[in-house]
Structure 1
Amino acid sequence: MSSLSRRSLQELEDAFIKVSFEPESPTASKHADASAPPVQDPLYEPWFERGSGKFVDPAGFGSVALRKIYPNHTITPFQNVNLLGFPHALVEPASPPDVISSLMFFPLARRLGDMTGILVDSVRFGLFKIAWDKYDYLLYVARYPVTYGEMVVQYLLHEGPAEPSRTLLMACGTWDNALHEEIYVFNQGFWNKDHGLWLEVQKANWKDVILKEEFKTNLKKDVNGFFASEDLYRSLAIPWKRGLIMYGPPGNGKTISMKAIMKESDAKGYVPLYVRSFQSWMGEEAAMAMCFAKARQMSPCVLVLEDLDSLINDRNRSFFLNELDGLEDNDGLLIIGSTNHFDKLDPALSGRPSRFDRKYLFDDPDEEERALYCKYWQNKLKSNHAIEFPDALVDEIAVATEKFSFAYLKEAFVSTLVLLAGREKDDTRDFKTLLKHQVKSLKDQLDKSPENATPPRSPWRTQASSFGPRERDQLLPSQPRFSQGRRFWNANPSDLRGGGASSAMPGALPDGMQHGQPNEQNPMEGRRDVRSMAMAAAALGRSFIV
């Protein structure tokens, strides 16, 4: 056929419309080569269509978009670094009206003055200017929804190489990971820093621990000697670890002794870690693994397990013993447990020396110890000339308070002083009369069963637990510190959701100071509650982000 005839035929074909009653495959029309054989696999087309769909990647999109907007800057995306809370950097919004945020109000204690609370900006989108060292930076914060909540992505921009940005993030991360008048507390599967607990521990003093001097000296030597004996342990080729158990009826000095140990160890650089509970969303065994992993990271340190009999049960005992025996390296761990019910501990826990090497019995005080406690109060009150406290009264009270715990003795003195301070003018009863009356009253109420050997609450006052912050509001300074009027920024949605119980030791107020969920990129690290962070930020007069 001539070329003219072929051209005429082609023009004729183009003049007609192809009509078909069979659906045309979009895959075949767009992607298939006409000369290629037809696809036989029935899964090919639906799989190709599903795999070719668009997917959502806001974090990646942000990096690409910022490279186009700031071609001369290096873009450093990052997570879990509290950059806006870094006290060594100057931070301010680039354009406050452009920051998208919602305000949250957090009330403060009335005793702090006219300041009723603080406002926290929960940032959804914002651009901040940061100055640190000799460099200037830009910080973008963006929050977007994900399947089970929200994700926060942050971008640090620097006009120049990336090394200054990495140096800043390393400095900030190092500072944020360190303890600043705080104690690590583990609760509900998260590690949290607790400043309020640190304040409580600072109140402890060995002079206030009324025990026989030999007993107290042996306890202190056991703790201090462990940390001073690393070379000895290694020379003997034995693991450098030790376990102590404090046991006995409640109210006899276990808690205050533990606080004194924590304070002294912290001052010497041996970090105290406090475990409140192994109950968590991920199970007790995973929580135990987190606890020991943190302890190994922070060693040499003191790991405190209060109420050991309630922490260890039939379900988790085997796993706990494996962690304790050190299938992994437990060098530098001093583990101190306490219990009011030593008989409830499994023999595998209480009877094997390589697990808990020493046991210290904190029993109800004998007459000598009761006399020591009375002399302790005699010394405290000697400067009060309105109170007569002769040696004869010391001996009399020591004899009259048989079977009293130290907690009962304390209640007798405190309630006496409260009554003395609130006497009516026509009430002529003196300190001695009131004290003896209170001793008799407590003796009448005293339940001889060791199960209930705790002092009753006085009707005229609230008795806080002996271990833990009385009020989280201690985090705030006095009123004049709030005159700066700074704004507080928060970009982590987990801190605003709450959902975890306060990690403080017993005694924390149940006032809704809840902890958030872990950062999605760093589930091993718990987050502090927003209220505590806001208070700490207010005390420093700076913005913060967690």
Structure 2
Amino acid sequence: MASMFAGDLKLPSISSLLSFYASFSALAMIIRTILNEALPRPVRHFIAAKFSDLVSTHFSTSFTFVIEDRWHAVTNETFRAVQAYLPTRAGPATNRLLLGHNDTNNTAAPPQSGIPVEAKVFDHFQGMKLEWTLHEKETKKFYPRHSHWYELRCSKKDKDRVMETYLPHICREAQKIFNHREVLNIHTYDNDGSSWESTVFKHPATFDTLAMEPEAKRRIIDDLDTFIQRKEYFQSVGRAWKRGYLLYGPPGTGKSTLVAAIANYLRFHIYDLQLQSVKNDSELRRVLTATTNRSILLIEDVDCSSKSTKPRATRDDKENPDESDDETKDRLPFDDPGVTLSGLLNFIDGLWSTCGDERIIIFTTNHKEKLDPAMLRPGRMDVHLYMGHCTPAAFRVLAARYLGIQEHSLYECVEDLMQKIPTTPAEVAQQLMKSDKPEVALESLVEFMKTKESESENSKLFTKEEVVIKQEVTKSTEEEVAEQDDKKLL
């Protein structure tokens, strides 16, 4: 019976199959043409997307996570974690790798690795197979001009495990990488490109080599250690996890060197911002929210950086004597007013100050009295540190660093002169660098300070003579006026 049934069953010929395929293809093309002419483009895209989702839901066994570089107007910390983690997972299955370094001080340094766009990286974690791909797209209307995102593909059955165990594992590993940075970067804002440009930061300054009073150094180190360890405390009291420092004093007293020592101690990147390069408050927010956690925002010579940082009475009376408050409010939208005081303070201590964690904000100035009092109150600048002239203790640190000695017969002479002649650490260092021989270098320093003392005394004498001359001129002028008045009366 079975053989008879098999004999009656006839398979279609090849020609009939080809004929059916041609007829079906023609019918499909006719239907597609009708749909393209009858339905608008958005409707067609909607139908295609729904059909793709339907096929993916019922037939696909994979799931894709998308991790973009920006999240709610700030840097996506998950993206940063993946960016640091993935180069450590590049293996034999990775067919492309990005190499390079920006250490201009050491051109022979081994290159660092990164993941190029559209390259695939495969990872295995707790029996799960995971595939990563980096994508890039140019954005003409928004900041920044290029957006990046990672796509993580995994099995549907592993979706929950990826969320609960794999991604937290990546964040922990990335945190270890951030905590043990071998290379620090210093970033500067490129106004033309509307982005931060970076280079390797290799300043040799440390707290051991810093020419400061030991007690002052210890206070700074203790303050930094306390800040780093108090994340939960800042959260419990409802404050942003940040710390503000104001370094003020005469030029050449080591303000920039202290910033370098802080960066090396904490292993924090530096974002060096010139307020003149920022057009307005809106751009300032974009610039500052593009900085990363565990970083230092540095604004040097803030008294010279912007009109917004000067006392408001000074700005109103001297800089805009003919401009009323109403005229200020009525500036045209396309007139870039620059960074305002409120815009700057809003990031330091306002709502925008919460856009980031573990940040150090440092302002430097040569003239603290020129700053608006609103910038100086607690909560904005938490630590006010005066960087003064060189002290005997600071001199000994410099001598040990530049000359490699702890004691010398000229030390007492130098320290006595230093008590009378204000001398900056930069001036001391300049004299100590003139010779590798301690005797010659110290004699040069003594001669420099004596010359400075002599010039100071001469300046005082000239000042006294000028006062006497002015008094005599004034007296003679008054006598002449009196004589003329007498003649008029006669």
TM-score band, normalised by shorter chain = 0.5 to 0.7
Of 127-136 and 218-227, deviating more is: 218-227
- Report the 3-state secondary structure (helix = DSSP H, G, I; strand = E; otherwise coil) of the residue aligned with 1:188: strand
- Secondary structure of 2:180's aligned partner: coil
2:122 to 105, 119, 129: 129
Query: For the residues of structure 1 that align with 2:222 and 2:118, how far apart are their CA atoms?
Result: 55
Secondary structure of the residue aligned to 1:136 is strand
* Contact 1:186 1:291 (C-alpha < 8 Å) held by counterparts: no
Q: CA deviation at 1:247?
A: 0.9
Aligned-partner Cα distance in 2 for 1:67–1:398: 80
Task: Tell whether the 8 Å contact from 1:88 to 1:132 is kept in structure 2 after alignment.
Answer: no
Structure 2 partner of 1:318: 342
Partners of 2:84 and 2:233 in 1: CA distance: 43
CA distance in 2, matches of 1:229, 1:65: 50
CA contact (8 A) 1:76 1:165 kept: no
> How far apart, in 2, do the equivalents of 1:281 and 1:154 lie?
31
User: In structure 2, what is the equivalent of residue 247 of structure 1?
Assistant: 248
Q: Distance in 2 between matches of 1:414 and 1:221?
A: 32
Counterpart Cα distance in 1 of 2:262 and 2:393 = 21
Q: Does 1:414 align with 2:415?
A: no
User: Counterparts in 2 of 1:29-428, with a 5 A limit?
Assistant: 49=40, 51=42, 71-80=60-69, 81=79, 83=82, 86=85, 90-92=89-91, 94=93, 96=95, 123=116, 125-141=118-134, 154-161=150-157, 162-166=159-163, 167-173=165-171, 175-176=173-174, 179-182=178-181, 187-188=188-189, 196-197=200-201, 200=203, 203-205=205-207, 207-212=208-213, 243-261=244-262, 266=266, 275-278=272-275, 283-288=280-285, 291=288, 305-314=299-308, 315-326=339-350, 335-350=361-376, 352=377, 355-356=380-381, 359-365=384-390, 369=391, 371-377=392-398, 379=400, 390-391=408-409, 393-399=410-416, 402-417=421-436, 420=437
Give the TM-score, by structure 2 length: 0.53
Q: State the 1:250 CA deviation.
A: 1.8
TM score, norm. by length of structure 1: 0.48
Going from structure 1 to structure 2, the CA distance change for 1:69 and 1:187 (only over 3 Å counts) comes to farther
Per-residue deviation, 1:86:
2.1
**Partners of 2:103 and 2:200 within 8 A in 1:** no
**Alignment-derived partner of residue 21 in structure 1:** none
Q: Is the 8 A contact 1:157 1:165 kept in 2?
A: no
Q: 1:394, CA displacement in angstroms? A: 1.3
Instruction: Write out per-residue CA displacement over residues 396-448 of structure 1, whole angstroms, 9 at most, x where no aligned residue.
Output: 3345663431111011112222xx5xxxxxxxxxx4245424664798799x9
Q: Which structure exhibits the higher relative contact order, with contacts defined as CA atoms closer than 8 Å and separated by 6 or more residues?
A: 1
Q: State the shift of 1:120 in Å.
A: 7.5
Between the aligned partners of 1:435 and 1:336, the Cα distance in structure 2 is 34
Provide the C-alpha distance between the structure 2 equivalents of 1:187 and 1:288, rounded to a whole number of angstroms.
15
Contact 2:246 2:383 in 1 (8 A): yes
Aligned to 1:404, the other structure's residue is in SS state coil
Looking at secondary structure, tell me which structure has more helix per residue. Answer: 2
Does the alignment pair 1:432 with 2:439? Answer: yes
Alignment partner of 2:90: what SS?
strand
Closer/same/farther in 2, CA of residues 332 and 249 from structure 1, 3 Å limit: same
Change (3 A) 1:151 1:215: closer
Write the letter of the residue equivalent to 1:253.
Answer: G
CA contact (8 A) 2:296 2:362 kept: yes
C-alpha deviation, 1:238, in angstroms? 10
The 1:335/1:142 distance shift into structure 2, 3 A limit, reads: closer
Supply the distance in 1 between the matched residues of 2:297 and 2:117 (Cα, whole angstroms): 38
CA RMSD in angstroms comes to 5.8
Mapped to 2, the partners of 1:54 and 1:240 lie a distance apart of: 46
Q: Is the 8 A contact 1:93 1:129 kept in 2?
A: no
3-state DSSP of counterpart to 1:436: helix
Q: Which runs of 5+ in 1 are unaligned?
A: 1-28, 32-44, 421-430, 450-546
Q: Is the Cα–Cα contact under 8 Å of residues 241 and 332 in structure 1 kept in the other structure? A: yes
Give SS of 2:429's match.
helix
- What is the 5 A alignment of 1:3-18? none
Judge conservation of contact 2:276–2:306 (CA < 8 Å) in 1.
no
Query: 1:446-468: per-residue Cα shift (whole Å, max 9, x none)?
Result: 9x99xxxxxxxxxxxxxxxxxxx
- In structure 2, runs of 5+ residues without a counterpart are 1-32, 70-78, 309-338, 457-490
Deviations 1:480-501 (A, max 9, x none): xxxxxxxxxxxxxxxxxxxxxx
